[in-house]
Amino acid sequence: MNQINSKNISLTINKEDFKNINVEFRQNLADFLRELGFNGTHLGCEQGACGACNVLLDGKSIRSCLTLAVQASGKEVTTVEGLNSSEMKTVKDCFIKNNAMQCGFCSSGMLMTTYEIIKLNKKLSRAEIREMISGNYCRCTGYQAIVDAIEDSVNKLNLGSQNG
Contact residues toward ligand FES (CB under 6 A) are: 43-46, 48-53, 63, 65, 101-106, 138-141
Q: CB nearer to ligand FES: give 104 or 160.
A: 104
Backbone phi, psi, residue 69, to 5°: -55, -40
Are 51 and 137 contacting, i.e. CB atoms less than 8 angstroms apart? Answer: yes
The amino acid that residue 96 corresponds to is I
Q: How far is the CB of 19 from ligand FES (least distance, A)?
A: 27
- Of the candidates 146, 63, 51, the residue with the CA atom closest to the CA atom of residue 108: 51
Q: Which is nearer to ligand FES, 147 or 159 (CB)?
A: 147
Q: Which is nearer to ligand FES, 65 or 118 (CB)?
A: 65
Collapsed DSSP state (helix, strand, coil) of residue 7 = strand
User: Smallest gap, in angstroms, from Cβ of residue 95 to ligand FES?
Assistant: 10
For residue 101, the minimal CB distance to ligand FES (Å) is 5
Task: Give the shortest CB-81-to-ligand FES separation in angstroms.
Answer: 17
Taking 3-state DSSP, the helix, strand and coil percentages for the chain, each rounded to the nearest 5, stand at 40, 20, 45
In the complex with ligand FES, which residue's Cβ is closer, 36 or 140? 140
- Coil, strand or helix: which one is 30? helix
